[in-house]
C-alpha cells in the first residue's frame, strides 16, 4: 500500500511539472484571441484582480466586474483583433495590434493599428498602456465623431450622450446613432 501511494504521488508530481505555465507572449496572444472569440472567462483568467488601462492622459482602473462591462461595450462594435508584432522585454510585452470594428469604420480609421505595452504582476496581465497608433488620422476621427454627435443632438436627442456611455447600452446607442446618421446621409440625392 505504501508503494502504491508513493508511486501515485510521484505520478501526480510528474504530471503537474509537465504542465508548463504560458509565457508572457503566449498570455498576450491568448488575451487577444479570447477577445476575438468573445470569451470573457478566458480573459478573466489572464488578467490580474485589478487591471489598469492607460490611453494618453486617461488612466482607467478595472476590476473583473468593471472590465466585463468594457468587454460587453467593445463586443457590440464587433471588434476584431490581429496581432501584427509581438516582442518581450523584461517584465513587459510590446504588441502591435490591428483592430477593425463598426466604430473604427465609421470614424474612417479601419483598421486601427496601435502599439500596447503590457505589464504583468503575479503572473497575470496587470497594465495595458496604449502607445502610438501608426497611420491613425485623429483629425478625421474627431471630425467624424463631432459630426455624428452634433447630428444626433439635433435629430435624435434621445440618443444624446452615447459617446460617453461606456456600457453595453451606450455601445448599442452608438451603433444606432451611426446607422441613423448614415441612413440620413445616404437618403440625400
Q: Is the separation of the CB atoms in 115 and 132 below 8 Å?
A: yes
pLDDT tens profile 80-116: 999 999 999 888 999 999 999 999 999 999 999 999 9
The answer to whether residues 129 and 146 belong to one domain is: no
> Can you tell me whether residue 132 is helix, strand or coil?
coil
Round to whole Å and give the CA distance between 58 and 70: 15
- Look-up: residue for cell 473604427? 104
Whether 178 has a pLDDT exceeding 60, the answer reads yes
If you search the block for the grid coordinates 504582476, which residue do you land on? 121
pTM of the model: 0.83
Whole-number pLDDT of residue 67? 96
The domain tally of the chain equals: 2
Same domain for 131 and 170: no
Q: Are 77 and 175 in contact (CB under 8 A)?
A: yes
One domain for residues 37 and 103:
yes
Same structural domain, 147 and 122: no
The answer, yes or no, to whether residue 17 has pLDDT greater than 80, is no
User: Residue 129 sits in which domain range?
Assistant: 21-136
- Is 4 a domain residue? no
Q: What angle do CA 109, 110, 111 make, to 5 degrees?
A: 115
Same domain, 187 and 125: no
Q: Are residues 143 and 132 in the same domain?
A: no
pLDDT value for 18: 54
- Kindly state whether residues 148 and 132 are assigned to the same domain: no
pLDDT tens digits, 156-177: 999 999 999 999 999 999 999 9
Residue 100: inside a domain: yes
**Closest-CA residue to 159 (of 169, 168, 167):** 169
Query: Is 55 within a domain?
Result: yes
CATH number of the domain within which 83 lies: 3.10.450.50
Shared domain for 100 and 147, answered yes or no, is no
* 5 in any annotated domain: no
Question: Looking at the domain assignment, is residue 166 inside a domain?
Answer: yes
Beta strands in 39-146 (DSSP E): 47-55, 58-63, 80-89, 92-100, 112-121, 124-130
Amino acid at each position: 500500500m505504501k508503494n502504491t501511494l508513493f508511486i501515485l504521488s510521484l505520478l501526480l508530481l510528474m504530471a503537474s511539472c509537465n504542465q508548463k505555465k504560458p509565457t508572457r507572449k503566449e498570455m498576450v496572444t491568448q488575451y487577444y484571441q479570447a477577445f476575438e472569440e468573445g470569451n470573457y472567462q478566458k480573459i478573466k483568467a489572464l488578467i490580474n484582480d485589478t487591471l489598469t488601462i492607460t490611453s494618453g492622459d486617461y488612466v482607467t482602473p478595472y476590476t473583473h466586474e468593471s472590465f466585463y462591462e468594457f468587454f460587453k461595450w467593445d463586443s457590440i462594435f464587433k471588434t476584431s483583433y490581429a496581432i501584427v508584432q509581438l516582442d518581450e522585454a523584461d517584465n513587459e510585452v510590446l504588441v502591435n495590434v490591428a483592430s477593425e470594428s463598426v466604430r473604427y469604420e465609421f470614424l474612417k480609421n479601419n483598421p486601427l493599428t496601435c502599439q500596447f505595452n503590457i505589464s504583468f504582476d503575479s503572473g497575470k496581465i496587470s497594465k495595458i498602456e496604449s502607445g502610438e497608433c501608426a497611420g491613425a488620422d485623429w483629425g478625421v476621427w474627431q471630425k467624424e465623431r463631432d459630426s455624428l454627435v452634433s447630428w444626433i443632438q439635433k435629430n435624435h436627442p434621445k440618443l444624446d450622450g452615447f459617446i460617453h456611455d461606456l456600457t453595453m447600452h451606450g455601445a448599442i446607442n452608438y451603433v444606432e446613432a451611426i446607422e441613423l446618421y448614415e441612413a440620413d446621409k445616404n437618403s440625400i440625392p
